[in-house]
Amino acid sequence: MKVFQDLLETPLNYLVEQAAADGRIPIGYSCSFVPEAFLMADKLFPVRLHAPGVAGTEIADIYLSNFICTYTRSLLEFAVDDRFDLLKGWVFVPSCVHMQRLYDNLEYLKKPAFSHILDVPRKVTAATLAWQTEELQALADKLASHFGVDMSHDSLNAAIAQWNRFAAVIQAIGELRKPPDPLITGTEFHRLLMAALVSPKDLILPKILDFKKEIEKRDGIGKFRARLMVTGSHLHDPELIRVMESQGGLVAADLFCTGSIPGFMPVEIGMKTNSDPIRALAEHAFKKTLCPRMMEDFDRRLKTIIDTVREYRIDGVVIEIIKFCDLWGVDSMPMVAALRKEGIPVLKLEREYAPGGEGQLRTRIQAFIESMGK
């Protein structure tokens, strides 16, 4: 487990450094609507942008107001501190207004040789799927022209196959969280998953497979008082999950950008998509990303949470929201009411991007578990 912890200590870890030294091209990205497999073509590899251990955002606060969430401010702070300098470029999505302002400021303050904002529609229809396919094609052309990388269908199909192999392993480990006596804690799972999202997949996969073998030999992980599902804003530091689990709340399922539900279903190539990998990736991004930025998608998100609660025998749902996150902040209001209507206990937690205030958090989680009679 320590290997994954170590990989999360810096924004660009030693595996990224190793791959870059081998002539490969690290591309940062901020949002799940950027298909990871797309950035795995040829010599490219994706690195999820995160700001581990951010201690303050003094410089970023000059450019972004205090009402902008601390995730975006933390990324800007790290960027101006040269912490992302190893990246050869980045791809952003106008996921929310805060992200758009971050991108604007990065363009002004720290523009890398390659930067791109991938426009993603806010509705899923046949027309927007076609739009998204064109957007990805434009990005593919730009990457090919800038880096001289092969973004052909064959190259993308190979990247998708590689990503699918990785996703299948993550899915299989995720399945180990389902039984009443699971083999892996939520903290371990999120350390592993987050480490995988910030590392070149081929270099981290052997470590993940070793860990999988290790946990499959376990008898179990001990007793927990309740099984929790966590959903909400960007949750990059597994510390929040560790604190929840320290109070007896096993985090057995999740639904957030860097969680596993439903993010790691394989990309379907050649079935519905006439073997067009770009269209398959566009379709996949729409299907696997349940983000409140999307319009008229509330019912699908709600249904996924309710289905997960049943499938994973969840006792209560924690909705965690980074302060000033408009998307999850607004979405959580009807979500809390809808889940309670289904008889599902819900705790809404407001937090900052960087973990802190452990005492308060412990009290809230413990009281939540107690209120469920556990």
Which residues in this chain contact another protein in the complex, by CB under 8 A?
Answer: 323, 350, 352, 356-357, 359-360, 362-364, 366-367, 370-371, 373
Main-chain dihedrals φ then ψ at residue 311, nearest 5 degrees: -65, -40
Q: Using an 8 Å Cβ cutoff, are 86 and 12 in contact?
A: yes
User: Given the complex with another protein, which of 155 and 247 has the nearer CB atom?
Assistant: 247
Give least dist CB 363 to another protein, A.
5
> How far is residue 23's CA from residue 194's CA, in Å, rounded to a whole number?
24
Query: Beta strand pairing status for 89-92 and 346-351?
Result: unpaired
Which residues does 227 contact at the CB level (< 8 Å), separation at least 6? 249, 250, 252, 253, 312, 313, 314, 315
Tokens of 111: 């523009």
We find the least distance from the C-beta atom of residue 345 to another protein, in angstroms, to be 10
**Cβ of residue 226: shortest distance to another protein, in angstroms?**
13
Choice between 167 and 354, CB closer to another protein: 354
Closest distance of CB 316 from another protein, Å: 12
Closer residue to another protein, CB minimum distance, 277 or 329? 329
Minimal distance, residue 238 CB to another protein, in Å: 20
Residue 3 or residue 372: which is nearer to another protein going by CB?
Answer: 372
The long-range contacts involving 205-212, CB below 8 angstroms and separated by at least 24 positions, are 205/165, 205/166, 205/169, 207/3, 207/4, 208/169, 208/170, 208/173, 209/169, 211/1, 211/3, 211/4, 212/169, 212/172, 212/173
41 or 354: whose CB is closer to another protein? Answer: 354
Return d(Cα 234, Cα 36) in angstroms, integer.
17
Shortest distance (Å) from residue 241 CB to another protein: 19
User: At its nearest, how many Å lie between another protein and the CB of residue 372?
Assistant: 9
Residue type, 133: T
Would you say 97 or 337 has its CB closer to another protein?
Answer: 337
State in angstroms the smallest separation of the CB of 60 from another protein. Answer: 18
DSSP 8-state code for residue 39: G
Decide: helix, strand or coil at residue 255: strand
315 contacts 372 by C-beta, under 8 angstroms: yes
CA dihedral 161, 183, 244, 67 (to 10 degrees): 0
Tokens at 345, concatenated: 């206990």
Q: Which of 40, 33, 10 is closest to 257 using CA atoms? A: 33
Residue with Cβ nearer another protein (65 or 363): 363
Distance CA 190, CA 1 (A): 11
Are 199 and 26 within 8 A, CB to CB?
no
CB of 318 vs another protein, minimal distance in Å: 14
Pick the closer one to another protein by CB: 307 or 370: 370
Q: Closer CB to another protein, residue 278 or residue 325?
A: 325
